[in-house]
Amino acid sequence: ANLDHSNLQGKAIGITFAFPALAPIAVGLRFYSRSLTRTFGADDLTLCVAAISVLYWAETFITYRVIKLGYIGYHVWDIPKTYDGQLAGKYGYATELIYVPILGLIKMSILLFLLRLTGQKQVVKKAIWTLLILNGLVTCINIFFVIFQCLPIAAVWNPTAHPNAKCINFGKTTTAFASIAVITDSFVLILPTWIVYDLHIHKPQKLMLIGILSFSLITVISGLVRLVLLEAYNASKPTDFTYTILFTISTIETGLAFMAACAPL
């Protein structure tokens, strides 16, 4: 048979490193802007933890290892017989563990920044604190589900060695948490309009301010795209399941979230 031997792995690796390379630049510009205005806050600290600390670059390196070890981008018939699925599975598991807290920290940074703009609006402050608590709870619960998606945990990367393992439907669980993330992102998107609604400034300035503060729309859109793609993939997993760059959708979402968080410099 004339099999297709094209390869998408190069594109997957390019995407994996492109966004982490751009995110620190955006964060650096944000810190430079804050140094000029001397307005550093807790939102900058949480963004720094997510962007420059071990978390983001650890996720990037581990994602790269998953792509290489898991032959992401290859056709299934081109994968060598020496393929070590267990090692790729371990790296994939580590990626899931890091991805969740990164997005939680980015959302926390955006909310803390908006909290600084509320002034004396107690209702808005309460709404932001509610979202901060909700974000923290959802992030912790999501991490718990990722860690204990299988019992024993080793069944995640070596299911054949644990035929009696108890595992959740991780595809559906991921889709559920992605749905919650889109909903909370939508609430965050409403906050800028609420904050500047009764400011005594000209309408064009008010609209521009709302637009700048509403850059989290990028996060909502990327979250929706990820949700739709995950649902479609889980509904009918293709036979040639490694010939895809879908694995990089989380990297794209994280990178866009950083851009959104850094937009209101």
CB atoms within 10 A of CB 71: 20
Which of 37-46, 91-100, 146-155 is the most confident on average?
146-155
Q: How confident is the model at residue 107 (pLDDT cuts 50, 70, 90)?
A: confident
pTM score of the predicted model: 0.82
For all residues of the chain together, what is the average pLDDT? 82
Among 102, 130, 107, residue whose Cα is nearest residue 189: 107
Q: Provide the residue ranges of all domains of the chain, joining segments of one domain with +.
A: 9-262
Burial 214-225 (b: 16+ CB within 10 A, else e): bbbebbbebbbe
What's the gap between Cα 115 and its chain centre? Answer: 22
- Residues 118 and 195: beta-carbon distance below 8 Å: yes
Q: Which residue has the higher pLDDT, 184 or 235?
A: 184
Q: Which residue has the higher pLDDT, 29 or 74?
A: 74
Q: What is the pLDDT of residue 227?
A: 81
Q: What is the pLDDT of residue 210?
A: 65
- Residues 246 and 233: beta-carbon distance below 8 Å: yes
Share of the chain above pLDDT 90, in %: 29
Q: What is the pLDDT of residue 149?
A: 95
Q: How confident is the model at residue 202 (pLDDT cuts 50, 70, 90)?
A: low
CATH classification (class only), 9-262:
mainly alpha
pLDDT of residue 32 exceeding 90, the answer is no
Return the structure tokens found at 208. Answer: 């521009």
pLDDT of residue 52 exceeding 70, the answer is no
Instruction: Encode pLDDT of 63-90 as tens digits.
Output: 999 999 999 999 999 999 888 889 999 9
Instruction: Encode pLDDT of 161-184 as tens digits.
Output: 999 999 998 888 888 888 898 888
Q: List all residues 6 or more positions away from 99 whose beta carbon is below 8 Å from its beta carbon.
A: 59, 250, 254
